[in-house]
Chain A
Amino acid sequence: MTIDYQRLRFDYRRAAEQAAGAAMRVHPVVVVGAGPVGLATAIDLAQRGIDVVLVDDDDSLSSGSRAICFSKRSLDIFDRLGCGEAMVEKGVRWHVGKVFLKDELVYSFDLLPESGHCRPAFINLQQYYVEGFLIERARQLRNLDIRWKNKVVGIERDDDASDGMASVTLAIETPDGEYALQARYVVAADGSRSPLRRLLGLESHGRTFKDRFLIADIKMEADFPTERWFWFDPPFHPNQSVLLHRQPDNVWRIDFQLGWDADPVLEKTPERVIPRVRALLGPDVAFEIEWVSVYTFSCLRMDSFRHGNVLFAGDAAHGVSPFGARGANSGVQDAENLAWKLEMVLAGRAPDRLLDSYAREREYAADENILNSTRSTDFITPKSAVSRVFRDAVLTLARRYDFARRLVNSGRLSVPAVLRDSTLNTPDRDRFDGGLVPGAVCVDAPVLRDGEPDWLLAHLGGRFTVLSFAAASGIDPNERAAIDRARSMGVPIDVVVIEPHASLEASRAPRGLALADGVAAIGGKRLIDAEGRVAERYDALPGTAYLLRPDQHVCARWRRMQPADIADALARALGRSA
């Protein structure tokens, strides 16, 4: 039997704190908001062995499909959280986008033009499924306590506790009345209207766009291809834009630009929605309306994502227009950036200031997302007469000339920010080509493990990882010394050794044995570079090594290792050295 995720309700239970005479407990982390970002944060923390309380003011999943485009990066993160497969299985894969002017195709793009990645560029999946799969995973984690119908109505920060342990106390309203919930750290993932932000008297700043859009999710049998179709000025909706996207269960998302003067209440009525949809589909296509919403949007963010021991993530911290799918996807990246840092700080392995780097890195990423989103919005919704003239001139030229197609902006779709200037990075000492600079997110590639096809990303992340490209002679003694020294710092480090494919044949030869012994001595995992893609994508030569963060970002890389290199880079990546 299939689960109707839209109708799921979760049981409220009295919390331990509500029992008479219950002792006050300081939880390591309380996460506020059981949307995709809060769930991802809570699961990640729980997988790291941290006891987490997740509170939500409601008892159901997302109403309506809302965020529907989940990027490759989000899927890679969901894989690590143990629910990527369910999402990909249910989701609709796509990678091609098409842009039409009137009824003519002017531009087409492929978001993942190269093969050799486990996950597709994007899947479309209703937000309630994403949340549903995350909750199914969350329920397997015994140290993750989800409390439904627990609404935050007050917050008190104790930033200078006498014992040096700053904490936060939340006032929680439940059907059984109020109780106090205390935590070392609070993650505010409570959405764009963030009650926590308001309770702390904080604001998000930015631009609100004077335009209205209608979302109509309709159910129909249709033979449109599984692509993102965007029209400027189509004959069926003149002078405005329209976006068509496929979701699972034969549901299609249609996004109609309405203009600022549209009446948001009237436009939601079937009398107005049905003719608009029929104009697109033609008179003979049968359809049902699943969900309708009229929205405006803003590009904004909080000045700082960290306020003492309260850390803001997702829409609570930043907002973008929907055209780049940069809302939920960037929020999931916030979660992944934050979880390992909280773990390190709570375990005493990193100073508290490592959490400042969460704020700085994700503020930088938010600025990049806001920039891209604002540019798309300015193209789709020109703000002035001259802006409109240039937009139309681009579209006119795009019908015939390739150069102008590059200027057509119907949304620049979410890719993870390269945290190039992060203080956690160790600048390159050696020369490298390619995009995997310190601060970049690792890219996937096919590998063989014990002779079976596998994917590189499945073996990176979770912990700090040394990705080592083996020389035929075995593991370099300097590298071995560097790994030993880094391991003495009290932080678990995985080692993944990439061997060139040819060594499959040579593995019986003496130097293959030397390599095997060397890998075993450093506690490494051996992967074979099945198609040479790993070395290619990481611009690796024999002896090249990378140090990767638990969130799969590159910290440092070397052509030839010195014994102190990994320890120094690790100290930086933990915020131990400035």
Chain B
Amino acid sequence: MTLNLRPNLARPDDFYEALIDMHRDLSDAQSQSANAQLILLLANHIGDHATLLEAMRIAREGVVGPGSAP
């Protein structure tokens, strides 16, 4: 299994709204905890180790790699 980077979300705008909504009225610490729990839940759902490593690599590159966000 490889990480699917093509559009795959059934309802992209609804998903994004729900993601932001998940953090409504949370403190920064609570938001951090919710994000961490979300990552763990999704990681378990994916299961495949190589796929998870690929996602982590891309996420880290988005921060410290070439062309990363300022």
Which residues of A line the B interface, CB within 8 A? 386, 389-390, 392-394, 396-397, 403-404, 407
Contact = CB atoms under 8 A, between A and B. Distances in A.
Nearest to B32: A389
Contacts of A407: 40
A239 to B, nearest CB: 14
A390 B40 CA distance: 8
Nearest to B29: A389
Interface in B13-49: 32-33, 36-37, 39-41, 44
Contacts of A386: 32
Contacts of A404: 40, 44
Contacts of B39: 390, 393
A389 B44 contact: no
The 5 closest A-B pairs by CB, nearest first: A393-B36, A403-B44, A393-B37, A389-B32, A389-B36
B44 A396 contact: no
Nearest to A406: B44
Interface residues of B, number: 8
Contacts of A397: 37, 40-41
Contacts of B36: 389-390, 392-393
A393 B33 contact: yes
Secondary structure call for the B interface: helix
Residue from B32, B39, B40, B41 having most chain A Cβ neighbours under 10 A: B40
Nearest to B36: A393
A392 B40 contact: no
A258 to B, nearest CB: 24
A396 B36 CA distance: 10
Contacts of A394: 40
A383 to B, nearest CB: 16
B33 A389 contact: yes
Nearest to B34: A393
7 contacts: A389-B33, A389-B36, A392-B33, A393-B36, A397-B40, A403-B44, A404-B40
A386 B59 CA distance: 15
A403 B44 CA distance: 7
Nearest to B45: A403
B63 to A, nearest CB: 12
A397 B35 CA distance: 12
Contacts of B40: 390, 393-394, 397, 404, 407
A397 B41 CA distance: 9
A386 B39 CA distance: 13
A119 B17 CA distance: 57
Contacts of A396: 33, 37
Contacts of A392: 33, 36
Contacts of A403: 44
Contacts of B32: 386, 389
Nearest to A393: B36
A215 B31 CA distance: 36
A390 B36 CA distance: 6
Residue from B32, B33, B36 having most chain A Cβ neighbours under 10 A: B36
A390 to B, nearest CB: 5
A389 B29 CA distance: 9
Contacts of A390: 36, 39-40
A403 B45 CA distance: 10
Residue from A392, A393, A403 having most chain B Cβ neighbours under 10 A: A393
A428 to B, nearest CB: 25
A397 to B, nearest CB: 6
A407 B36 CA distance: 13
A322 B32 CA distance: 31
Nearest to B37: A393
